[in-house]
Amino acid sequence: MLAVREVEDIFADIVDCVKAIDPANVRRWFEKLTVTHLSGGSLEVGCPDEATVQFLRDNCKNSFTQAAQQITGHLVAVDFNIISRDKTGRRSLRPMLGLKLHPDYTFDNFVVGPSNRLGHASCVAVSHSLGDTYNPLFIYGSSGLGKTHLLHAVCCEVRQKSDQAVIQFLSCEEFVNRFIRAIETGNLAGFQSQFRTVDALVIDDVQFFREREQSQEEFFHTFNALYNNGKQIILSADSPPGKISSLEERLISRFSWGLVTRIDPPSYETRVAIVQKKAHVRGITISDEIAEYIARKAHANIRELEGALTTLYAVSTTTGKPITLELAQVALEGQIESAARYISITDIIEVVTGHFDVRLTDLQSKRRSQSITMPRQICMYLARNLTKHSLEEIGGHLGGRDHTTVMHACSKIGEAEQNDSQMHALLADLTKQITKVPRD
Ligand code: ADP
Ligand code: MG
């Protein structure tokens, strides 16, 4: 039998070892983890809340298992559980809500700047008083600007305020999948009561409703039931309600009943603050100089800032070198270049539809007139060249076309680029617009 002190020392060594094995997933709050059991080939780690448990189970099980084995020299089964102290000082399990919240995605960890001030403020307001302020709350913006983070933060805040509040938080894709399953298994009533009896329904990425008519219909009724009972609805999407193609008019109008708020790409100052915040969350210390370097170089998408930080930390841990500006420059050279080039299909479609003055719905339609076919093919060609998406994915964005259609478009436009100087100039101009640096 090991003494408590010994167990704690061993656990501290295990955590240090995890840091070396998997620097990307290390968080400052690892220091708050405790060991609740270590013997007989099993290690139980005590965590402060459900979000932490989920994060560790999803991301760190392997590294903890490997580390535990390395430190103890035995095969060890690892599990993570919530512990908290109730008023009597005894350890007790807190009830679970069944949400899978990410521990990093809190209001505390969200940097507020001009680009997201309104979105942030409305989420905070809603979390203070469900159903009373903005209902529904609709947040939209390009990928990687913090929509999902904010939705998690609302749920996390509500959860902290009240264990009783029932929240359903899921991606639109999951809503659709569960709906399909309910139909298949003939359990529509169960599905409906699951969603219509909550205090808050939070659905991420509702652009996924696109062209899913039956799901839209179902959601329409869910929406009405909740709304009429004063229950909160929070939605996010990559575009405003009216620009989500093939979304029913009655949903568009309902989505706009409350507050529709946009998140823009962050300014340089906000990016620097985000880098610092992300470093802090991971327990890394970096100088302002390095944060500024990363923020200057990686501007397209906040995920890229995080990726840069992870690489830097990993290089520093594995080489044992301190994090200096020089190390950052060497470590991030390739990565940041690709980060700077990060472009989404949505960016491409936005520029191309703007240039040709056509709508996304036209590009996604079956229409074959030259005025539509050409911009559609140009989108495909640029998506092929400027993103890492597969032919299938590109076809999916443009009205569910199959990969041979995309391939045909690519070779046709590619050929025109070679042989037609006007097309050459047009493509160069569009590419420049698509890859342009967001203004600070
Ligand atoms: P979206 O859902 O809009 O595509 P996410 O919420 O997934 O974007 O954000 C991508 C990453 O950027 C996440 O790691 C998130 O924490 C981070 N992020 C975005 N905006 C901020 C912000 N203002 N402060 C801190 N982190 C942010
Ligand atoms: Mg998201």
DSSP assignments along 158-199, one per residue: HHHH-SS--EEEEEHHHHHHHHHHHHHTT-HHHHHHHHHT-S
Q: Is 205 within 8 Å of 107 (Cβ atoms)? A: no
Residues with CB under 5 A from ligand 2 (ion): 147-148
In the reported structure, the alpha carbon of residue 144 is separated from the centroid of ligand 1 by a whole-number distance in angstroms of 5
In the reported structure, the alpha carbon of residue 147 is separated from the centroid of ligand 1 by a whole-number distance in angstroms of 7
Task: Give the mutation target among 115, 149, 154, 303 for probing the ligand 1 site: most ligand atoms within 8 A of CB.
Answer: 149
Instruction: Indicate which CATH number applies to the domain containing 135.
Output: 3.40.50.300
pLDDT at 85: 56
pLDDT at 88: 45
Name the pTM for this structure. Answer: 0.70
Q: Which of 61, 94, 127 is the last residue of a domain?
A: 94
CA atoms within 13 A on the CB side of 69: 11
Ligand 1 atom nearest to 105, measured from its CA: 16
Q: 231 CB under 6 A from ligand 1?
A: no
Q: Is residue 104 part of a domain?
A: no
Structural tokens at position 204: 């991420």
49 and 87 inside one domain:
yes
Element (H, E) at 137: strand 137-140
353 and 287 inside one domain:
no
Q: Is residue 250 part of a domain?
A: yes
In the reported structure, the alpha carbon of residue 146 is separated from the centroid of ligand 2 by a whole-number distance in angstroms of 7
Beta strands 167-171; 137-140: pairing state: unpaired
pLDDT at 337: 53
Q: 367 CB under 6 A from ligand 1?
A: no
353 and 330 inside one domain:
no
Q: Is residue 71 part of a domain?
A: yes
Q: 171 CB under 6 A from ligand 1?
A: no
47 and 87 inside one domain:
yes
Task: Give the mutation target among 145, 238, 264 for probing the ligand 1 site: most ligand atoms within 8 A of CB.
Answer: 145
pLDDT at 180: 94
Q: Is residue 102 part of a domain?
A: no
Contacts of 394 (CB under 8 A, 6+ apart): 345, 380, 383, 384, 387, 406
122 and 249 inside one domain:
yes
Instruction: Indicate which CATH number applies to the domain containing 32.
Output: 3.30.300.180
Quick: pLDDT tens for 425-436.
898 889 878 876
In the reported structure, the alpha carbon of residue 344 is separated from the centroid of ligand 2 by a whole-number distance in angstroms of 13
**Residue ranges in the chain modelled with pLDDT below 50:** 87-98, 339, 437, 439-440
In the reported structure, the alpha carbon of residue 300 is separated from the centroid of ligand 1 by a whole-number distance in angstroms of 12
What backbone phi and psi angles, to 5 degrees, belong to 80?
-120, 135
In the reported structure, the alpha carbon of residue 308 is separated from the centroid of ligand 2 by a whole-number distance in angstroms of 19
Task: Give the mutation target among 123, 302, 344, 345 for probing the ligand 1 site: most ligand atoms within 8 A of CB.
Answer: 302
Q: 72 CB under 6 A from ligand 1?
A: no
Q: 117 CB under 6 A from ligand 1?
A: no
Q: Is 146 within 8 Å of 137 (Cβ atoms)? A: no
Ligand 1 atom nearest to 109, measured from its CA: 25
In the reported structure, the alpha carbon of residue 143 is separated from the centroid of ligand 2 by a whole-number distance in angstroms of 7
Structural tokens at position 141: 């913006």
Secondary structure letter of residue 246 according to DSSP: T
57 and 182 inside one domain:
no
206 and 251 inside one domain:
yes
Quick: pLDDT tens for 236-271.
999 999 999 889 999 999 999 999 999 998 988 999
90 and 127 inside one domain:
no
What's the rounded Cα separation, in Å, for the pair 415 and 241? 37
Structural tokens at position 88: 């009597």
Beta strands (DSSP E) in 8-99 are 34-39, 42-47, 77-82, 84-85, 91-92
Take atom 12 of ligand 1 and give the residue whose Cα is closest: 302
Which ligand sits nearest to residue 146's alpha carbon? Answer: 1
Q: 306 CB under 6 A from ligand 1?
A: yes
292 and 184 inside one domain:
no
Q: Which of 322, 340, 358 is the last residue of a domain?
A: 340
Instruction: State how many domains the chain has.
Output: 4
77 and 124 inside one domain:
no
Q: Is 75 within 8 Å of 33 (Cβ atoms)? A: no
Structural tokens at position 54: 């989920």
In the reported structure, the alpha carbon of residue 205 is separated from the centroid of ligand 2 by a whole-number distance in angstroms of 7
242 and 138 inside one domain:
yes
Q: Is residue 110 part of a domain?
A: no
What's the rounded Cα separation, in Å, for the pair 155 and 176? 21
Q: Is residue 100 part of a domain?
A: no
Q: Is 204 within 8 Å of 148 (Cβ atoms)? A: yes
Structural tokens at position 272: 């620097």
Q: 342 CB under 6 A from ligand 1?
A: no
Q: 196 CB under 6 A from ligand 1?
A: no
257 and 121 inside one domain:
yes
Instruction: Indicate which CATH number applies to the domain containing 417.
Output: 1.10.1750.10
Take atom 14 of ligand 1 and give the residue whose Cα is closest: 303
What's the rounded Cα separation, in Å, for the pair 363 and 51? 41
What's the rounded Cα separation, in Å, for the pair 370 and 378? 12
Q: Which of 321, 340, 359 is the last residue of a domain?
A: 340
Secondary structure letter of residue 347 according to DSSP: H
Q: 206 CB under 6 A from ligand 1?
A: no
Domain that holds residue 411: 345-435
